[in-house]
Structure 1
Amino acid sequence: MPSSNKAYIAMMQLTDRTGPGTIVDLGSGWGNFVIRIAKKHPQRQIIGYELSWLPWLISVCFKKLLGLKNLTLHRQNFYQADLSDCSVLICYLFPGAMNKISKKLQLEQTNINFLISNNFSLPGWKPCKAIKIDDFYKSSIYRYNINSNKKPSKQ
């Protein structure tokens, strides 16, 4: 399900001051967020992972139409992707997926500095920032500092 426009804006604001590294959207869907963030940060590499064929194809068409050379879109399961060199993870995933990501972050050596999540918290980690959005869903947007606190806190 796509995020609200207010959630997109909040997530984009939370990518500010996250350095020059690669931003990866785990489950990029129709490309709504990755296209916006690629346009906002043309100097940064943006990567999207999406398994569903039609949303992936639509986002690839928009990428080409807009000439976004800094955007790479993979039709691939992000659990099998090498995320070790990315700097920021973006996600809007269900609680079970967030739990898998939490375990992956605890076990693997990565250069991931931040994780920004729409609606669902990262189990076992304490967000450094949480924004409550005044949208239809009353969304919460969370930002976590990953490498500064590699061992998750008890919640």
Structure 2
Amino acid sequence: MTRIAEALLAARGDVPFFAAVLAQGAGAMAAFGISFAAEYAFGKAPPLLLVLAAQGIAASLIGIRFGLARWWIPINLVLPPAAGVLLALPIPGWVYLVLSGVFALVFWNAGSNRVPLYLSSRRAKAELARLLPSGRARFLDLGSGLGGTVLALAAKRADGEFLGIESAPLPFALSWLRATFAGLPHARVMHGDFRNHHLGGYDVVYAFLSPAPMAELFRKARSEMSPGSLFVSNTFEVPGETPNQVVDLDDWRGGRLLIWRM
């Protein structure tokens, strides 16, 4: 099964969403196959919710074999039983359509770029503030989500320039509204992809993305950032690159700020 999946993934350009669909399909075949076998052997099928829970467990394990990132595990695990419960409730069909649209707008990057929505903790923001140089510091947040980091730092440093870039439509729209009405003219957010934004001229470039784009992003940072500036990754390492400094955030995720001086 793994070889078949690898071949299909190669044909599809290794899109994680497609791998998750494959994992759910394989999990459903396994769970419902066992259910049908149990009904044939004992004359009674297991409860549907139990079968869907088994599908989620199987899909999570298969997703690991398919090479999906760890954050797909809870999604694959919860999706089948949650869908079963929701479908059993007397909810109008348009509600599902709206929820699907909201989910797609929030996690726009998860399928193609393998970058889900992560929000920085208060401790991370405090440590980033300490990394800013004195004077007119310029800070860039790649994948700025709801804009919390940009606005928090701008509120502490009126003498700096703070920019966030977000490509998921709904987080960008919400962060743009927050920045517009925050009364912080030196804080901005813009819609875009980090691949298309030049990293030169910033004192600190911060990213809380996922393992997938880190190697590409670090190469871009090396080639574009000014000597002496700082590239900071929250939690996710750069393969083959040792940071100059590591700051433990002591949060429930076991997060760390990995800091490289360019």
Name the CA distance, whole Å, in 2 between partners of 1:44 and 1:120: 26
Cα distance change of structure 1 residues 110 and 137 upon mapping to structure 2, 3 Å threshold? closer
Name the CA distance, whole Å, in 2 between partners of 1:109 and 1:17: 19
* Count of residues in correspondence between the two structures: 144
Name the CA distance, whole Å, in 1 between partners of 2:135 and 2:244: 16
Deviation per residue, 1:28-73 (Å, 9 max, x gap)? 0001111101111111111110001111111111112111110121
Deviation per residue, 1:103-149 (Å, 9 max, x gap)? 2133x243261011110123333322211222111111121111xxx
Q: Which residue of 1 aligns with 2:120?
A: 3
Asked which structure has the greater CA Rg, the reply is: 2
Counterpart of 1:55, as a letter, is P
What TM-score comes out, normalization by structure 2 length? 0.51
Moved more, 135-144 or 117-126: 117-126
Name the CA distance, whole Å, in 1 between partners of 2:232 and 2:143: 13
Q: Name which structure has the greater RCO, CA cutoff 8 Å, separation 6+.
A: 1
Q: Over aligned residues, Cα RMSD in angstroms?
A: 1.8
Q: Which structure: greater helix fraction?
A: 2
Name the CA distance, whole Å, in 2 between partners of 1:87 and 1:134: 25
User: Are 2:244 and 1:128 equivalent residues in the alignment?
Assistant: yes
Correspondence for 1:27 among 143, 146, 152: 143
Structure 1 residue 12: Cα displacement: 2.6
Name the CA distance, whole Å, in 2 between partners of 1:124 and 1:132: 20
Q: Which structure: greater strand fraction?
A: 1
Contact 1:102/1:123 (<8 A) preserved? no
Instruction: Provide the identity percentage.
Output: 24
3-state SS of 1:25 partner: strand
Contact 2:199/2:225 (<8 A) preserved? yes
Contact 1:21/1:45 (<8 A) preserved? yes
3-state SS of 1:117 partner: strand
Cα distance change of structure 1 residues 19 and 43 upon mapping to structure 2, 3 Å threshold? closer
User: Are 2:151 and 1:45 equivalent residues in the alignment?
Assistant: no
Q: Which runs of 5 or more structure 2 residues have no equivalent in the other structure?
A: 1-117
Name the CA distance, whole Å, in 1 between partners of 2:196 and 2:184: 25
Name the CA distance, whole Å, in 2 between partners of 1:109 and 1:11: 21
